[in-house]
Every structure is written in C-alpha cells, then in structure tokens.
Structure 1
Amino acid sequence: MDIKIWSAISKYLTATILVTGIAACNIKQEEVLVASVTSVVSKDGSNAFYKENWESLEKVNQKPAWFQDAKLGIYTHWGPTSQANIGMKWAAGWYGLDMYMDKQYDWKTGELRRFGDNNETRPSYAYQHHLKQHGDPAEFGFKDIIKQFNPDKFDAEEWAELFKKSGAKFAGPVAIHHDNYAMWDSEVTRWNSKATTGRDITGELRDALKKRDLKLLTSFHHAFTWVYFANAHNFDATAETSDLYTDKHDLTDFKPNKRFHDRWFAKLKEVIDNYQPDVIWFDWWVEFLDEEYRKKFVAYYYNKAKEWDKDVVINYKNTSFPSSVGILDYERGRPNKIKDEFWMTDTSPGAWFYYENAKFVSPNEIVDILIDIVAKNGLMLLNVPPNPDGSIPHEMHDMLDKLGNWLEINGEGIYETRPWTVFGEGPTRISRGGHKIEKQKIEYNQKDIRFTKKGDDVIYAFVMDVPDTDLVIETLNTNLSVLQTKIEKIEMLGSKQTVNWRRNAQGLVIQKPVSIPSDFAIGYKITLLHEDEVGIGGEDPGAN
C-alpha cells in the first residue's frame, strides 16, 4: 500500500483511539510507517552531500553567523507534565518517572533507596500526590494524564508577539520531552497534540514566528524516555502501550533496543521534513544511543538544510556529538572564562515546567546572566514555562517585557558582537564553570564590568549595577597593553547625555551618570581611534 495512504489511515485511527481505548493494530500500522521511514533514509543517503560518517560531517558549518549573532532564544517546557503538576507542592519536571516510584529507586543504578536508621523504603512525593489526586498508577497512569491535557488558552500569535518583544531571535517548543508526547501533528506516534487535543502546537507556533521573522527551534528530550518510563512496566504499561512507555526492560538496562532507536529517529525526521526547524536542541542521554543513529540524524538534517538552502544548528550536551557538527550546551550553567568555541546555555527563571508555587528570578538577574554569557562567547536559551492551559504566567510576561525593553536600549552591544580580549573585571566570579553553576548565588555589583566588541573599532562595556559614584574600569588603564590604541569617544547606550571621562594609570574613569536609561546594567560604547602607521612605504616619517 502507498505510504501516504497508509499514513492517512493511521492518522484517522489515531484521532479516535485515545477516546475509545488502546488498539494493538494501530501500533502495528505505526511500526510499518517507522520502518518505511528508516529504510527510505538509508536508501537515499548514498547520494547525499554529507555522508553518515564523522569525516564527511565535520565539513558542515556548525556555527553559522546568524546563530552567533542572535544571542537570545526562547523555548517552552509545556505539555501533559504541566497538567500533572497541578496541585503539586513541589515542582516535578519528571512527573512521569516519579509517579511510578512506590519505592524510590536510584534511576542511575536501579538500586532501591533506603532512608533512616531502619533503612526503610519510601514512596516518592509524586507517587503520593498521584494516589490522592488520581488513584493507583496501575489504574490511572501517565497515558491517562495525557487525556487531561487541554491547551484551550494557547494562542500562538500572542506567544510569538511576546517572544519578539523580548528580543529573542529564535524560539520554539519543547517538541517532545522525556514523557514521549509529541507536540506536533504526527503520523509516527499516536501520542501527539493533534490527535489528543486537535492542536498542532509546533505548526501553529512556527507560522506565528515566521510572520515576525523569528527562526524556529524544536527541542528533543526523548532519548531519556527509555530510562524515564522503565518503572512504569510495574504498573500500567503493557505491550499495547509500548509505543509510549517503551518495551519492557529492567531498570538497569540502559541500552535501548532497535525499535526504540528507530522510533527516536523517525520522530526527528518527521519534524525535520514537516516543519524545517532552524535549530534542533537535544537534552542529554543522546550520547547513550548507538552512534550509527546519531550519524544518521546529523547527515539527514544537514542534507535537508542543503535542500532548503539555509544554515541550521544542532545543540547538544555532554558527548552526544563531536564539536565539529554542533554547539555545546551548558544546562543552567556557563564557563568562568571566554571559550574559543561558541557555546550556549539553557536556563529557566523558575521551574522547568508549570509549578503553581513557582518563584521566578528577577528580570535584572536574567539581564546580568545574558551579559555574562555573551561576554564569554555564548548564547542564552531561556525557558518560558506556560500554564497547563497554554496561557503565559504574568510573571513571565513582565520579565520578557523588561528584558525586551533593556535590549531595545542596549542591544547594539549584545547582538552581532563577539568577545573582546578579556570578558570582564570585578569581584564577582563563578567559582567553577560548568553545568548547573546557577546554584551559586551570584549578585553582580557596580564594580563588575563585562566587555563585548564589534570589529576592531568598538568595545562595549557593561556596568552590571547602577553606579552611585564615578566608574573606574581598571582593565583599560594606560599601564596595561590590553587596550592598544587611544579612545576617540564614549557614549552611553540609550542616552544622549555627554559622557565625561579620562584615562590614566588607574584606569578608564567615567563620571557618574546624571541619569540612566534603564534600571538594569548600563552599556557604554567605546569607539577607538586608529591612527595610520607611518613609514610603511619606506618614506621618511619626518619628511613633509
């Protein structure tokens, strides 16, 4: 049977099965489709521009200029997990894993956790909450949480407008999280937003972003699904739900089977083919998948980009891919120095998913983190966690508005810049760079300065807090050779007031401003004076 016809049949059945019950025949149809997808890719790949080997793939342009220029992107952790978090006292971004922990296991080892002097076992908080809220997970599992997800307040136009106003240059959804639920119109998996809610979240958001000249990101977290739902097989997982929960396996069996690998790739291919994302971001655990599948994905994505005639980006964590084919991501972290290779961080102003007791960091802190990232040759991917119904929390509205206002004033020193000779100066430093260093309490003050540059003629200096006295930038003193030319003029971004300054052995001394254009960090544009060298042609420098 023709694949398109087969897909149409599968789609029709998908729309009704989650209402009427789980049917094994639908799974079989999806398996045929997945098999056809992977076989077609393998057949067509022989004549592709990029081959499925690292030697060929290292020729890609893994860090296009547009991405290095962008500095800020947004993505959204949202889906059935948001629905599951209603009523939770503590955030549970991994609800689908924790709800099956009647006894807590260390998912890294599969060992049972014991507590107290009596070495007793304890259920997880999510399991206890689930019992009270929904009943026994054996009767009401995550598959049933999915049926409750109702994005009736989701407005792609409103989202895109807010993201545009924030100053982001690209944005998009968490296309699929660890819970294996696809936020797009899928023929590969019946567990998707179109089938269960009637909304193609990815498609609607793509169209709204395109109207505003924002590029599309889709993020994929489903490599970890193999571990995430391992314990569900002690409750409501069956052979008929294996397309959601994965095939039955031991908690300590961390090696996914071929079926899992095929479905992992098929979902990626479907989003690539149907939505043409500019950025594909990966959460961890991809490094544990077979290398052949990772090479297959990279080759397929970059070859499709060749067809589309556009530069695309792969973001990865840990050792998922070689640095020659993608850009490394730090989760809630960043290095403590300038990196030669361009990098990025994904961070969230609060919990990753909706959490009714969420506490958000201040807009000022987000601005400071962004500046520090850009000064060290990085980019910020900021998470916006919507409410379960798809509306954006007012705290996030306020934060994105204020971030956008600051960038409207200071964006000249952020967008399209590159790191300067040093990233900054001042007393506030990250003790050690890496993942999740945001656990450190970092509060910048007026003595903390961060630098960026454009070309060889302009340096930007950001003062990380409003100064209450004259500013002294010690790095730019006349005794050091860091600044190897004279300064022509200094301007405050977003202000027409005259900036009074002098440069001496102490440093570059800038008089305390009369007024400031923002309550957050202040940006100064330092234009350098380049004098022509003499005697280059052999003439006498002293001659008239």
Structure 2
Amino acid sequence: MNNKIFKHKVKYLAAVIFAASAMGCNATETPQSTSKSSKKTTELYDESWESLSKVNHKPDWFQDAKLGIYTHWGPTSTANIGMKQAAGWYGLDMYMDKVYDWKTGEVRLFGESKESRPSYAYQHHVKTHGHPSEFGFKDIIKSFNPDKFDAKEWADLFKKSGAKFAGPVAIHHDNYAMWDSEVTRWNSKATTGKDIVGELSKALRERDLKVITSFHHAFTWVYFANAYNFDATAETADLYTDQHDLTDFKPNKKFHDRWFAKLKEVIDNYQPDVIWFDWWVEFLDEEYRKKFVAYYYNKAKEWDKEVVINYKNTSFPSSTGILDYERGRPNKQKDEFWMTDTSPGAWFYYENAKFVEPNEIVDILIDIVSKNGLMLLNVPPNPDGSIPQEMHDMLGKLGDWLNINGEGIYGTRPWTTFGEGPTRIRHGGHKIEKQKIEYNDKDIRFTKKGDDTVYAFVMDKPQGDIVIQSLSSNLTVLPGKIKKIEMLGSNQTVKWQRNEQGLVIDQPSSIPSDFAVGYKITLLHEEEVGIGGEDPGTNGNGD
C-alpha cells in the first residue's frame, strides 16, 4: 500500500474513533481517560436516572456552606412601584380583569352577591399604566431601569453577611432573562445594557464566593396563559409562550426546547456552582429533565468542580439533587441533607415592605442547620438595583453573629438530636413560617464536628442558669466525658456541672451578641483498648 495512503487512512480512522467517543451524553470515556498517567476520570453520565444517580449530588462544600443568598429582582420589581401589597406574580395577576383560579380556570365570585371582580394588580395596572391590552408586561419590561445596580457593592454585602454562595434569580416566571442572551431577546443586556448574571458572578468569585443561579421559567407556560386575551400575539410568543387554554398544563415542544436552551446558555457562559429550580419542573417531560441533569453534571466534569442542583416537589430524583422547602423546614432532623429558601419579607420589592427582625433570621438559620439543612436567603432589591437599608442592616447583623458563632455553624454536621425545649414546629414542610415561632432560652439546638466537639446554641439571652437536659449524667448520648466548655466569642470562664438534671451552665455575666448564644463542648475522647485481642494491663502476650 502507498505510504501516503496508509498514513491518510490511519489519520481518518483516528478521527472517526475520536468523534465517536465524543458524541452525546452516551459516551463513556474520552481519549484522555485511557491514559495511564491520568488520574482524573472523564467518564460521562448518560441521560438516564440510573447513570445520573452515581453523581455526588451533595458535595462537602455545599453541606459546609450553610448559608446562601439569592435575589428576586427584575421587571416585576418595577411593576410593583406604587403597589400597596406584594405582587410577586404581577405578570399573571395583571391580566385578571376577573379573578380566576389558575388551577381550574374558573372565575371566582365574591360577597353575598357572588359577583366577579378584577384583581388588585389589574386595577393598579389600569390606573398606573393603562389597559393591559395596550400596555402589557412586555411594556413593563421596557420600564425596568437598573441604573443603581452595582455588582461589587452587592458582592461586598453578601460576603459581609457570612453567605458562602450567592447569585441572582436568573429568570423568573415572567420569562425575562437577567443575562446577555442570544436565546431570547427579552434579556437584561438587550433592554438595559447590563448583564446582571455576568457582572454579579464575576464580582462574587473575586470575593471567593460560589455562584448560584435560580430558574423559575417552567411555570411561565401557566403564568402568561391569559395574556392572549390582552396584548399577547404570535409575534410576542417568545415572551408569553404559544397560545393555549388556561388549563392546558402540558407545554409544547417549542417551550421545552426554549426552557433547556436558556439553562444551557447560562451553564456554558457562566459556569454556576449551584442551579436552583422553582416548582413546575415536575410537569415538564422527563426526557428534558434528564437531558438537563446530564448536561450540567457532565459540564462540571469538564470544569473539574462539583456542582449542585436544588429542586422542589418531585422535579428530580433525590439521588440527583437536593430537596428544597419553600419558606419551610422539617420539624425533625433529616438523614438526607436538605435546604430551604426563605425571605425576610416579600419575595420582590414593594413599597412599605415589612421585614422580620435579624434575631428571627438567626434563629431560623440555627434550627435549619441543626436538622441537617442549609438556608437560602432572599434579598429583594429596589427596582433601580440598590439594596434597601433594612436589608443592609439585617445582613450586617447576621454577618456579625456568624463572625462570633460561625465555628458552630459552618462545616458542622447534625448531632444525635437536633435540639430540645418547648418550642416546636407543627407539621414540618413547605410554608410553615406562617406559624409564629418564637424561641426562648429553654430552646437548645445542637451541631457537631467530628466525634469530640458538640455545639449547643441557647436560642435567646439566658435569663438564669442554662440547663441542657439532653446532656444529663443519666443519659449516654455523649461519646466521652466533657473536657471543656467555652462560650463562642468570649474569653470568660464557663462554670458548669453535670448531674441528673442535665448539663447546668451558670448564667453568663455577659454575652457577645444580642441573639442566640453558642457554646463549644469539647469531649475527652477515649480510645478503645484490646482491639488486637491482648488483655489490657498485661505484657501484651495474654499472660
């Protein structure tokens, strides 16, 4: 055979083999993984739950983080200017000239006369902007002006709060992308000149924070269904989705393709460490869900880092992501790591918003961590992109508390029991924060590090001696004797005794914070003896 032809065929064959090995998610190895000197595995996940269940879906860095921040902000914030009540679903509510149940499509009737009425958002919109057939949500988008947005200022504040990761709501139900997109024209770069996701991601990483992007656009199919009775047309279907019946909850293929394309674009361009999903993903075709999970985790292999997927309800199998409770948490310790997303007030900006006190946020964080969870805290910026002063103050105080007590929060794992005391959540789950939960100094929460350190948090300023019944001398929950007890953030000597009543700690003369008080309990770890079969105290020969 001619030598040139032979070489050509060898090169061709090599190219074919390389292309075959690189195609799709069904590939098992790339050429590098066959190298004996390569220690890094490049085996890819295929688009099956069986394959994807092998991923490390709860990496240590995420379990160690305990606190993250995300931001509900965008055109909906602008729409809420002048509103006297929160309207996080403004884009759905503004098209209700008659309030209807979006789950059934039935018009709701009010009062003894059983008459219909328009929604508050619809009334506000007509009064402020005009009829939604003439000024729709597409026009609200044009009004969004984030001229006070400063990514570095945001990142500094989030760092100060003690959060270990942060990021924006990348796209909410309103289908507006907060990044520089080629997939959709309805994006922040095109309409405002700002790449919110890009600028904030860069600023966060410069401060050693990991990046979360959240996606809520699966619900867009339902959210804008009624807009076709007003300003939506075929020309704006890329915003409002294709026209369909109110109760047709099955998105078409075009919607599925766009849903995935937006995710892929953010993954490719910004490499988020965490992708968080709101509900309704569970109603999308399973093949698209598997396609996303495989794509994201395979890209993480390419980046050589561990990433996280957060989900609600039944969107994904528990072996592929971490379950999220919205404004809620369990009332008991969970074996499987979990998280909750919550907000100190409304999700989006609205005038005269009320925020909970920092003490409540600290207590919720401690309770979450003690039960093997993580808190994702929402920060609702003003429409112009500035952060409300109340949030500056709250995040500053949260950060101050974590500077003192973070040792007992970050990097910890749940102890034998999450806590003790009279204050308990009724029926843990989603949105249990509607319950008014106020912890007192009899409520204790626990965390641990290794087998020789337990942390006990007294959830309010001690009004007397602290009695921790779970650590009484009658119980054997501790793996060793107590060696030392210290108050986190304080050099004062901690006086204590352990008896049948419990571990009794003298009331402190002062505490380093106005919020929960943390104690570090160091144990004297006793090594086992006789493991080799020898009799302790002999010459080791059993004599």
- TM-score with structure 1 setting the length: 0.91
What is the RMSD computed on CA atoms of the aligned residues?
1.1
Q: Which residue of 1 aligns with 2:305?
A: 310
Shift of 1:355: 1.0
Shift of 1:356: 1.1
Is 1:372 the counterpart of 2:367 in the alignment? Answer: yes
Q: Which residue of 2 aligns with 1:411?
A: 406
Partners of 1:484 and 1:213 in 2: how far apart? 36
Higher-Rg structure is: 2
Partners of 1:50 and 1:483 in 2: how far apart? 42
Secondary structure of 1:399's aligned partner: helix
Is 1:496 the counterpart of 2:491 in the alignment? Answer: yes
Letter in 1 for 2:25: G
Shift of 1:539: 4.2
Q: 1:447 aligns with which of 442, 445, 449?
A: 442
Partners of 1:238 and 1:204 in 2: how far apart? 33
Shift of 1:248: 0.4
Q: Which residue of 2 aligns with 1:106?
A: 101
Shift of 1:540: 4.1
Is 1:273 the counterpart of 2:268 in the alignment? Answer: yes
Q: Which residue of 2 aligns with 1:72?
A: 67
Partners of 1:52 and 1:168 in 2: how far apart? 33
Secondary structure of 2:341's aligned partner: strand
Partners of 2:95 and 2:86 in 1: how far apart? 16
Is 1:57 the counterpart of 2:52 in the alignment? Answer: yes
Shift of 1:536: 3.7
Range moving further from structure 2, 395-404 or 117-126: 117-126
In the alignment, is the contact (CA less than 8 A) between 2:26 and 2:45 conserved in 1? Answer: no
Range moving further from structure 2, 252-261 or 108-117: 108-117
Q: 2:520 aligns with which of 509, 525, 530?
A: 525
Partners of 1:291 and 1:113 in 2: how far apart? 33
1:173-184 counterparts in 2 under 5 A?
A: 173-184=168-179
Partners of 2:526 and 2:200 in 1: how far apart? 51
Partners of 2:24 and 2:183 in 1: how far apart? 20
Secondary structure of 2:512's aligned partner: coil
Range moving further from structure 2, 249-258 or 476-485: 476-485
Secondary structure of 2:25's aligned partner: helix
Q: 1:211 aligns with which of 206, 210, 219?
A: 206
Q: 1:47 aligns with which of 4, 22, 27?
A: 27
Shift of 1:114: 1.0
Shift of 1:426: 0.2
Q: Which residue of 2 aligns with 1:234?
A: 229
In the alignment, is the contact (CA less than 8 A) between 2:479 and 2:525 conserved in 1? Answer: no
Partners of 2:241 and 2:531 in 1: how far apart? 71
Shift of 1:473: 0.1
- TM-score with structure 2 setting the length: 0.91
Is 1:299 the counterpart of 2:299 in the alignment? Answer: no
Secondary structure of 2:208's aligned partner: coil
Partners of 2:518 and 2:216 in 1: how far apart? 37
Is 1:383 the counterpart of 2:378 in the alignment? Answer: yes
Range moving further from structure 2, 532-541 or 302-311: 532-541
Secondary structure of 2:202's aligned partner: helix
Is 1:162 the counterpart of 2:157 in the alignment? Answer: yes
1:79-124 residue CA offsets vs partner (Å, 9 max, x unmatched): 0000000000000000000000000110011111111222211100
Secondary structure of 1:171's aligned partner: strand
Q: 2:79 aligns with which of 81, 84, 108?
A: 84
Is 1:325 the counterpart of 2:320 in the alignment? Answer: yes
Partners of 2:317 and 2:359 in 1: how far apart? 35
1:466-485 counterparts in 2 under 5 A?
A: 466-485=461-480
In the alignment, is the contact (CA less than 8 A) between 2:58 and 2:322 conserved in 1? Answer: yes
Gaps of 5+ in 1: 1-41
Partners of 2:270 and 2:478 in 1: how far apart? 47
Q: Which residue of 2 aligns with 1:18?
A: none
Partners of 2:343 and 2:531 in 1: how far apart? 54
Q: 2:129 aligns with which of 131, 134, 154?
A: 134
